[in-house]
Amino acid sequence: MNRAASRRASIAAASAAILVAVGLAPASADVVNGDFESAVDPWWTTANLTDSASIDTGALCVDVPGGTANPWDAIVGQDGLSLSPGDYVFGFDASSSTGTSTAVGLVQFPVDPWTQLANVTQPLTDEMTRYETSFTVDEDVTGLQTAFQVGGASDPWTFCVDNVSVAPAGVEQVVNGTFDDDLTGWTHYGFVDGSARVEDGTFCATVPAGTTNPWDVALFQDLQLVAGDYSFSFDASAAGPVRAIVQQEGGAYASYGEIAAGNDAEWTRYETSHQANDDPVDPRLGFQVGGAASEWEFCLDNVSYLGGVTVEPYEPETGPRVRVNQVGYLTHGPKEATLVTDATEPVGWELLDSADAVASSGMSVPLGTDESADQNVHGIDFSDVTATGTYTLVADGEASYEFEIGTDAYEQLRYDALNYFYLARSGLEIDGDIVGEEYARAAGHVSSPADGVANKGDLDVPCQNAADAAAVYTDGYGWDGCDYTLDVVGGWYDAGDHGKYVVNGGISAAQLLGTYERTKTAASAELGALADGTLNVPETGNDVPDVLDEARWQLEFMLAMQVPEGAQFAGMVHHKIHDDGWTGLPLMPANDAQVRELHRPSTAATLNLSATAAQGARLFAPYDEDFADELLAAARSTWAAALATPDLYAPVADGADGGGPYDDDDVTDEFYWAAAELFLTTGDDEYEDFLLASDVDGADDVADGFYWGSLAALAKLDLATVPNDYERRSTIVDQVIAGADALLAVQEGQEFGLALADDAFEWGSNSAVLNNQVILGTAFDLTGERAYADAVIESMDYLLGRNALNVSYVTEYGDVTSQNQHSRWFAHQLNAELPNPPAGSVAGGPNPDYGTWDPTIQGLYPDQDCAPQLCYVDHIQSWSTNEITVNWNAALSWVASWMADQGQAATEVAPCAVSYTVHGSWPAGYNTQVWITNTSDTAITDWSLTWGYPADDTVSRQAWSAQWSQEGAFVTAESMPWNGTIKPGKRTTIGFIGAPGTLADAPPEQFWVNGNACTTG
């Protein structure tokens, strides 16, 4: 039953209903100059509109006078449209200056009785919005009129229209979409018994209360589709959430088109268009309406899925052409912007303060075409502005988004980025009192398959089923499966699914541990910023730094993944655990009904545990000796297991059925990483000898960066910064500096300021930028040279908006930010009752590697022709460009903490120097003298000296010339009344007997006096 003319044809804004078709609209067929690129002709207007008719940014706009009586008293029209028999779609983009005025869009005969073939009567918004309706022509017609009647308003207003089209509707793929033949072609389940019915050509049914997932209640029909262009539309009256989707039935549940609808009892029309590059596999069109707490009524009509439509090429909305860090700039840091422009000569720019006064001005610097963006750009440098405040940058007729100079946002980003991990925890109820009720959820995967509950859980997880194991493990090792189960409750959900991985979880835990460890070794580190009580975690207040508590949640999971004695591959570590088969979105962890399976152990996973457990052992030793001992024992045993089986690899084939493969057939870097962490923690010759003999040790590979599959650079960063007596440590430091220099050269040549080469964009490109920032930040920590710091800061500009898309990839940090990252529980785009990802969640970012693309990004760029920086869409189904993962947020956590430590990037001169000398040692102790020298030109009074031990050393009760205390790894010595003043150029000495503990006892190398970093020597 066609109600398109009588129901309001509202097309929800991009932030609400339209999901896949971001900006896609059918191309015009017989309408002439429907895009108004060739002035106004052949469009005409009534006399009262003629003088005001003009083209404004590609749209026709007219000033409509007030006081007319009828819609037809003011018209914009075009005559001479001819149509052959068939189905058509009449569409246009329109806006109203008032945000409320009504327009009547018509395809009609221009003579009495003015028969209408299509009518869209629509209250317009103040933003350009697409409106469409379908109609049928039974015989050849000529002389039709396309018109917009805009009269009848009491007050004057401005009407703008663009992209007017009357296009063939294509081939209908849905059977009985108007429900004129009752339920023929349709299947339904889950509705209240007896409520599903067709009345007056409309389907209605009652959705029961208390279902869990959208797909628990559904109306659907299976389709047969081929590659091509499609238009998906329907009318609905739905007081609850509706997920309208065409997707693969089974397998990976790939989405071929999707609309988030509902939560509106008024009849509303929803439409989208998209492209399918390949023949869709087992496509099913469905309306999933489950998951609501209360009962509600669902009604549906005019369902259409048209093939053969023509879709305009996708053009992302990029906002103003002046690209800035949307959060802001540090007072004394670099302040650069990028202008996208056709100009080849310098253009003027002005920096306007909050009162629109000019704070600074200058001329841009033409930079040519940025290869990663395929955009002609200019550079703008306003680094000399240091007055704090809110600003906009104006150039070439465009004004940037607002930003701050003197921003302190990185202080909060430090914590938001780290707080992400509590929300990623598996096996624990997420407490609304800690994170807010919006993010509260039940514990996921805590039961046993034997419990008989829907959620199979991780309490007694079996190994991968024999059929799947035989199919994927075809190397010489094979896998016999196992006759044991493991309790692997806990850990972090890796990404947007419910899988848990040792490999990717390993680097994530390591970077959280490294974020904390840097507080002991970096001069710019803010003392206490990552202490107990700083994060939103349930363990806060236990006298252990919160970031260590968070890392422990993953470490304990990784310990649980070890193969028990007596089994095949005993002592090694299972590579991963996840569902047997992919699940759809959204799906809360507690509602996952899939069977969970352990996958074959791997050498890479075994070494991931060895490395992270070794690192964790030295950091936990001052706080939990028993846990540190457990970690170190596991680090040693897994090292031995990996040496015994050095080539057990995870195959790429084990990544097509419910989880990613994390395949890696070169683990020389993992061996080097594990040996490095074991040496740093124990000081044992065995591990140093392995490092010295490794080819990795001498390789200049730091500039290559690091990620879960390449970890040599991460190992070298620790060897360079954590106090140790490695024989080649100075060479490793040189490698780190050389790698940073190479990245600095890349960053200096990038028009958008990021430390990533034009040809280095790939899946998770933002994490590559972040990890390169870690290298650059470490180089600054080692040298204090500002060039490295400035490169880190400028790369942050790219992530927070100074990029080709003008989007901040960190949720809630900026004017336009990633909000719809791929996640089964942060799924607000699919279900309004669920939240978006939390503030501080970083999206994967642009990915031009089209061989890895998901159907959503494929549909936007069917010709695979996006410039690298443009290959991104903020859409929940674009897992290849817009996923969230623990390893990406771990990198952000390190960088955000480093940024927060820089304050406002002022150059600081150390006011003090400290020498730490061990004059003698014996098995249970050592005698230490510390000298504090005042290198400033003012007296130091009431001094307080602080340092952090690398491992488990302690200061004994035999200490003198200061008031001594120790909390965990950190020692504080406060002045006595008689030595509390150190005059410029003078020094004082203190001493103590130290206890070395059981781990490596390298002396500390960074000291602070009254919170100010000191030089050492």
Supply the residues annotated as catalytic.
874, 883
**Look-up: residue for tokens 């190994």?**
463
What is the rounded CA–CA span in Å between residue 824 and residue 498? Answer: 8
* Helix spans in 623-759 (H): 625-644, 668-682, 685-693, 695-698, 712-721, 729-748
Q: Checking phi first, is residue 329 left (phi over 0); if not, alpha (psi -120 to 50) or beta?
A: beta
CB 813 within 8 A of CB 752: no
Element spanning 365, H or E: strand 365-370
The single-letter code of the amino acid at 916 is Y
Residue 435, classed as helix, strand or coil, is: helix
Give the C-alpha separation, 529 to 914, whole Å. 23
User: What would the two tokens of residue 395 be?
Assistant: 């150039």
Packing angle, helices 786-799 and 729-748, rounded to 10: 50
Say which residue the tokens 């009785």 belong to.
Answer: 113
H/E run at residue 239: strand 228-248
- CA atoms lying within 13 Å on the CB side of residue 862: 18
**Structure-token pair, residue 198:** 């067709």
How many angstroms from the chain centroid is the CA of residue 512? Answer: 18
Strands (E), 1-85: 44-45, 54-56, 59-64, 75-83
- Write out the two tokens for 709: 């599959």
Burial 77-91 (b: 16+ CB within 10 A, else e): bbeebebeeeebbbb
Q: Which of 759, 762, 757, 758 is nearest to 849 (CA)?
A: 762
Q: Is 998 exposed, middle or buried (0-12, 13-18, 19+ CB in 10 A)?
A: middle
- Structural contact between residues 420 and 547, judged by C-beta atoms closer than 8 angstroms: no
Q: What distance in Å separates the CA atoms of residue 973 and residue 981, rounded to the nearest whole number?
A: 14
* In the block, residue with structure tokens 């339920």: 183
Q: CB within 8 A of 402, min separation 6: which ones?
A: 390, 391, 392, 815
Q: How far apart are CA 252 and CA 854, in angstroms?
A: 11
CA distance 878 to 875: 5
The CA distance from 641 to 799, in Å, is 41
User: In terms of C-beta density within 10 A (0-12 exposed, 13-18 middle, 19 or more buried), how is residue 3 classed?
Assistant: middle
Pick from 62, 57, 95: which is nearest to 77 by CA? 62
Residue keyed to tokens 């899988």:
499
CA–CA dist 244, 400 (Å, integer): 37
**Are β-strands 202-207 and 255-276 bridged in parallel, bridged antiparallel, or unpaired?**
unpaired
Of all helices (H) and strands (E), which one includes residue 610?
Answer: helix 603-620
Under 8 Å CB-to-CB from 694, ≥6 apart: which residues? 668, 671, 672, 675
Return the HEC string of 839-899: CCCECCCCCCCHHHCCHHHHHHCCCCCCCHHHCCCCCCCCHHHHECCHHHHHHHHHHHHHH
Q: What is the rounded CA–CA span in Å between residue 457 and residue 465? A: 16
Which residue shows structure tokens 């991985």? 501
Q: Residue 799 has what DSSP assignment?
A: H
